[in-house]
Amino acid sequence: MHPTTLPRHELAGLHVEVVESRNADLVGIAGDVVDETMQTLVVAGASGSKQVPKAAATFRFRLGGGEAQCASERASGRGPRAERVIVDGERLVARPARRTETTTPNKWR
Amino acid sequence: MAASIPEERVERLHDLAREAAREGADDRARSYVRRARRVAERHRLGLPTRFKRFTCDDCDAYLVPGRNARVRTQDGAVVVTCDCGTHARYPYD
């Protein structure tokens, strides 16, 4: 997984934080993504899991270094080499399996 | 660039499903398995052998032998029985 491919990749298992939103209550929600629907992400944080609408928020994902495997990726995600990727939630609005298919350019920041 | 995004995605979902099943989050594991199947279907990919052998064809559960699956070795085949009652058989070799 690479920052450019993140919007088309599996989000479950990644650490995410809501950095910006029209709804002030959503800002600051952080935790691991556990599930995804077409319009929302389910984020399991310290205070239980929250369902965050994708369209209303900007997310910051944390990526481990390189092409690490899932478990080690999570371990290294906490390390200093972790990359942070900021994605506008609008780009993620699609059914989970459908998201990988989009061929439009990735306009991640 | 070895694996395509959908291939990587199926692989990751497999790992996530295994972890979730080991933690006892069976429904979460099931949703990962379903999504992996759906991604593979949409991209016309085959599923990895390990994935096929550790998931239930019928209820999409991720199988952990001894916890939600029984494994018996029989004449010519291994038989894996899911808690839902579905048998899966695969040959030795």
Domains recognised in chain A with CATH numbers: 15-81+88-102 (2.30.30.210)
Contact call for A10 and B16, based on CB within 8 A: yes
Tens-digit pLDDT profile for residues A20-58: 999 999 999 999 999 999 999 999 988 889 999 999 999
CA A100 – CA A11 distance, rounded (Å) = 11
Residue A55 touches chain B, beta carbons under 8 Å: no
Question: What is the strand order of the sheet B69-74 is part of?
Answer: B69-74, B77-82, B87-91
Buried b (16+ CB within 10 A) or exposed e, A44-76: eeeeeebebbbebbbbebbbbeeebebeebbeb
Q: Is B44's Cβ below 8 Å from some Cβ in A?
A: no
Residue from B1, B10, B15, B30 whose CB has the most chain A CBs within 10 Å, to mutate = B15
Which of B63, B51, B64 shows the shortest CA–CA distance to B13?
Answer: B51
Both tokens of residue A36?
């995804």
The whole-angstrom distance between A35's CA and the closest CA on chain B is: 8
**Which residues does chain B have within 8 Å of residue A35's beta carbon, measured at their own beta carbons?**
28, 31
| E strands, chain A, in order | 15-21, 30-36, 40-45, 48-53, 57-63, 83-88
C-alpha A8: how far from its chain's center? 11
Could you identify the residue written with the tokens 């995004």? B5
Task: For residue B73, give the amino acid letter.
Answer: T
User: Closest approach of chain A CAs to the CA of B9, in angstroms?
Assistant: 6
pLDDT in tens, B40-91: 998 888 999 999 999 999 999 999 999 999 999 999 999 999 999 999 999 9
* Total residues belonging to chain B: 93
Spell out which residues of chain B touch residue A34, defining contact as CB-CB under 8 Å.
28
Q: Does A66 touch chain B (CB under 8 A)?
A: no
ipTM: 0.79
Provide the edge-to-edge strand list for the sheet that holds A83-88.
Answer: A48-53, A40-45, A30-36, A15-21, A57-63, A83-88
